[in-house]
C-alpha cells in the first residue's frame, strides 16, 4: 500500500478502501449489473468506487469497491453467473485479508427467473426458481429444473 501516495491520477482511479470488499476481474461491462445485484444504489450507505473497462492483463475488466460491506453467498452466486472470472477480496485495515475466485455453483435457487412465461415456476406456486448451472468455454448455461428452458445470454436481465 506504499503507492497510496502515488500520482494524483492513480489515487483517483484506484481509491483504496479501509474495510470492505473489492470485486476484481469483473467481466468488462458488467460492473453496473454487479451493483444491481448488491442493491446499489438503494438503502446501502456504503461508499462505492467503480472502474469500467479498466486495462488488465487479458484486455479489460471492471472493478467494484465497497466500503464497510461483505457479500453473502447468494450475492456471490449471482456475481459468478454474470462474471465467472471475478475475484472477491475482503479488505481489513487496508490489507487484503482473503482473496477468492468466485465459485460457479452447480445449482442456483431463487436467483434467476425462468424466461419461459409458461413455466410453472412463473406461477403462483410455493416454490423458488431452480436452475442447474454448467459452463462451456466460460459461457454460463442455466437450465430450468422445471421446464428445462436454457438461459445462456443476458443472464443479468433475468436475475431476481
Partner 1 sequence: MYPSIYIMAFEDMHIISMKDFSRDTIDHILATAEELEPIARGKRTSDLLAGKILAVLFFEPSTRTRMSFEAAMTRLGGSVLNLGSVEASSITKGETLADTIRVVNGYANAIVIRHPKEGSAKLASEFSSIPVLNAGDGAGHHPTQTLLDLYTIRRESHLDGLRIALAGDLKYGRTVHSLCYALSLYGAHITLVSPKELRMPNAIIKDLEDRGIEVKQTESIGEAIKDVDVLYVTRIQKERFPDHAEYQRVANSLQITPELLVQAQPGLKIMHPLPRTNEIDQRVDLTHHACYFEQAFYGVPVRMALLALVMGAIE
Q: Is 159 in the site for partner 1 (CB under 8 A)?
A: no
DSSP state of 79: H
Of the pair 66, 115, the CB lying nearest partner 1 is at 115
Q: Which residues contact 1 (CB under 8 A, 6 or more apart)?
A: 16, 94, 95
Q: In this complex, which beta carbon is closest to partner 1, that of residue 58 or of residue 137?
A: 137
x/- binding map, residues 93-132, to partner 1, per CB under 8 A?
-----------------------x-xxxx-xxxxx-----
Q: Which stretch binds partner 1 (CB under 8 A): 14-22, 67-75, 93-101, 146-154?
A: 146-154
144 binds partner 1 (CB under 8 A): yes
Q: Check: CB of residue 86 under 8 Å from CB of residue 64.
A: no
CA distances from residue 90 to 15, 21, 28, 70 in whole angstroms, order as listed: 15, 5, 21, 7
Place of cell 471492471: 62
Pick the stretch among 2-10, 13-21, 70-78, 147-155 that binds partner 1 (CB under 8 A). Answer: 147-155
Amino acid at each position: 500500500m506504499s503507492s497510496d501516495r502515488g500520482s494524483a491520477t492513480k489515487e483517483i482511479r484506484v481509491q483504496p478502501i479501509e474495510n470492505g470488499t473489492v470485486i476484481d476481474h469483473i467481466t468488462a461491462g458488467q460492473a453496473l449489473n454487479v451493483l444491481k445485484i448488491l442493491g446499489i444504489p438503494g438503502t446501502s450507505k456504503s461508499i462505492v468506487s467503480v472502474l469500467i473497462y479498466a486495462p488488465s492483463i487479458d484486455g479489460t475488466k471492471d472493478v467494484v469497491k465497497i466500503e464497510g460491506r461483505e457479500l453473502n453467498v447468494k450475492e456471490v452466486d449471482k456475481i459468478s453467473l454474470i462474471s465467472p472470472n471475478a475475484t472477491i477480496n475482503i479488505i481489513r485495515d487496508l490489507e487484503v485479508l482473503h482473496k477468492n475466485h468466485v465459485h460457479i455453483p452447480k445449482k442456483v435457487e431463487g436467483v434467476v427467473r425462468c424466461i419461459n412465461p409458461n413455466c410453472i415456476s412463473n406461477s403462483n406456486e410455493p416454490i423458488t426458481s431452480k436452475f442447474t448451472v454448467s459452463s462451456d468455454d466460460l459461457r454460463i448455461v442455466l437450465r430450468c429444473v422445471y421446464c428445462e428452458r436454457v438461459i445462456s445470454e443476458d443472464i443479468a436481465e433475468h436475475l431476481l
